[in-house]
Amino acid sequence: MSKTHEQFKCELELKNPLVIIIGKYTKATDYVKVKCSRCNNIWEAKAYSLLQGRACPKCRVIRGIENNKGKTHKKTHDEFQKELKQINNGITLLS
């Protein structure tokens, strides 16, 4: 049984909240037009890959650059702790 457009939209909101569907969902293996709520980039991706959490290609590049920066540029303790808090509020830094 295939999903309806509405079902896909609901599922996408749960699994990939940063991605907004702007095209019409047809089926899982078809391309659907979506928009990134973070950088407003519009692209087309396979519907099923979006439900697997596929991120916006533009944001992926930005994140990659930030990761590289993290390797070469040493973070201060405070910066690191702040970032850690954003990722997981349950983690406490001991050293």
**Footprint on this chain of Zn ion (rule: CB under 5 A):** 36, 38-39, 41, 56, 58-59
| Minimal distance, residue 75 CB to Zn ion, in Å | 24
Place of tokens 């970032």: 83
Q: Measured from the CB of residue 74, what is the shortest distance to Zn ion in angstroms? A: 27
Q: For Zn ion, which is the closer residue by CB, 41 or 68?
A: 41
Q: Give the shortest CB-85-to-Zn ion separation in angstroms.
A: 23
Minimum CB distance to Zn ion smaller for 28 or for 36: 36
* Contact of 38 with 56, CB cutoff 8 Å: yes
Residue 47, C-beta contacts closer than 8 angstroms, at least 6 positions apart? 8, 25, 26, 27, 28, 29, 30, 31, 32
Q: Which DSSP state fits 5?
A: H
C-beta of 54 vs 58, nearer to Zn ion:
58
